[in-house]
């Protein structure tokens, strides 16, 4: 029987033959584009191209306020480029709850990034050696370069996965079950599945598929526990459901927000109360099921949040009751002490 696995990586690569048991098609995700007609390559680029710039622009327009847009905007600003983010959404990383988006917006504004949100790009055209963008609100923006980071879509065109028995969703992703199986003898992992487009997602799916092929009893891929991260400074770390997602499922939830300025480590590092006026050490949000007393989701923006959010990932995956989580002793002074404050406040609401 023909065995085919669709292996996706974060970069776009050409299909190659790489399996002794049958062809392995390597695919990833393509960059979505909103601009027509395309601009000359000298003035517009994608995030993949802008990871290797030959020179720094004095002015940069970033079209897209998602994770990659935030990361690259801050990076360019740190090198002295005047950066403007444009997005049709009214806040950055809009897939997260508002309190997390607001924290990310403060991070970018402190870095000197200008935010133009809730605006739709109209005509974009060359302007000398740069670009000119006209917005639907009558504003015109000028820059030396335009960076387009409005998202990615599965690169399944021409893969002919349906001929192997797979089903494609409306967005072009390959439909799979919880063990990444697309059809008998066919598995798909990574960006082509349309699930949480992170390298760690593909790595996890690869382990699940490896177990399936070798006949081992493995654990299913559970979308609700896959962690998310935005690698700004400070970063965003998240896992599980947002408040919006939980309420859309008609789950009665307790929501707790912790200002990281209340954690001793923030003060020790000159943030929060000991830092500049109106500063904040960041924020942690916890989403708890009122009935089951289980943690459903957590998100944070703050120093090393991409690392210590792992505690929440484990708690969600292992279904640890909030009563136990509140009783965990965490080292002093560390940022994970925010969990202690949050869980204690949650218990007050639950009681």
Residue 37 resides in a domain? no
Domain that holds residue 146: 44-150
DSSP conformation class of 148: E
CATH number of the structural domain spanning residue 342: 3.30.390.30
Residue 51 shares a structural domain with residue 76: yes
Q: Which residues pair with 130 in a beta bridge?
A: 127
Bigger pLDDT: 236 vs 151: 236
- Rounded CA gap, 25 and 27, in Å? 6
Residue 198 shares a structural domain with residue 141: no
Domain boundary among 150, 179, 211: 150
Residue 141's nearest CA partner among 62, 46, 70, 50 is 62
Residue 317 shares a structural domain with residue 340: yes
- Rounded CA gap, 296 and 318, in Å? 11
Residue 236 shares a structural domain with residue 343: yes
20, pLDDT greater than 60: no
User: Over the stretch 279-301, which tens digit does the pLDDT of each residue have?
Assistant: 456 999 999 999 999 999 999 99
Predicted pLDDT of residue 281? 65
Mean pLDDT calculated for residue range 200-211: 92
Predicted pLDDT of residue 32? 56
The CA-CA-CA angle for residues 123, 127, 128, to 5°, reads 160
Residue 310 resides in a domain? yes
3-state secondary structure of 223: helix
What's the structural domain count of the chain? 3
CATH number of the structural domain spanning residue 193: 3.50.50.60
User: How confident is the prediction for the chain on average, in pLDDT?
Assistant: 84
Residue 38 resides in a domain? no
Residue with tokens 């009665």: 252
The CA-CA-CA angle for residues 298, 220, 196, to 5°, reads 50
Domain boundary among 193, 221, 249: 221
Domain boundary among 221, 237, 267: 221
204, pLDDT greater than 80: yes
Mean pLDDT calculated for residue range 160-171: 86
């Amino acid at each position: 029987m023909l065995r085919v696995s669709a292996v996706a990586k974060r970069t776009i690569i050409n299909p190659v033959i790489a399996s002794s048991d049958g062809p392995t098609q390597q695919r990833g995700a393509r960059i979505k584009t909103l601009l027509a007609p395309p601009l000359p390559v000298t003035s517009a680029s994608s995030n993949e191209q802008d990871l290797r710039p030959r020179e720094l622009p004095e002015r940069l327009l970033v079209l897209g306020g998602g994770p990659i847009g935030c990361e690259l905007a801050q990076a360019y600003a740190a090198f002295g480029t005047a950066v403007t983010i444009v997005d049709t959404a009214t806040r950055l990383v809009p897939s997260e709850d508002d309190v997390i988006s607001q924290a990310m917006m403060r991070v970018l504004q402190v870095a000197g990034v200008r935010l133009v949100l809730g605006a739709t790009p109209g005509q974009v055209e060359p302007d000398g050696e740069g670009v000119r963008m006209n917005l639907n609100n009558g504003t015109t923006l000028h820059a030396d370069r335009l960076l387009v980071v409005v998202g990615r879509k599965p690169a399944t065109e021409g893969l002919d996965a349906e001929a192997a028995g797979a089903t494609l969703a409306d967005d072009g992703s390959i439909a799979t079950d919880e063990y990444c199986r697309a059809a008998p003898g066919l598995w798909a992992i990574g960006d082509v599945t349309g699930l949480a487009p992170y390298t760690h997602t593909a790595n996890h799916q690869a382990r699940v598929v490896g177990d399936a092929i070798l006949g081992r009893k493995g654990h299913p891929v559970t979308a609700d526990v896959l962690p998310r991260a935005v690698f700004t400074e400070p970063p965003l770390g998240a896992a599980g459901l947002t408040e919006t997602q939980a309420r859309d499922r008609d789950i009665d939830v307790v929501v707790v927000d912790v200002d990281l300025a209340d954690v001793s480590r923030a003060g020790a590092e000159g943030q929060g109360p000991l830092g500049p006026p109106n500063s904040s050490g960041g924020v942690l949000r916890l989403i708890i099921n009122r009935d089951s007393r289980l943690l459903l989701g957590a998100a944070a923006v703050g120093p090393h949040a991409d690392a210590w959010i792992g505690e929440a990932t484990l708690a969600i995956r292992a279904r640890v009751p909030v009563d136990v989580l509140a009783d965990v002793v965490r080292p002093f002074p560390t940022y994970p002490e925010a969990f202690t404050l949050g869980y204690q406040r949650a218990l007050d609401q639950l009681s």
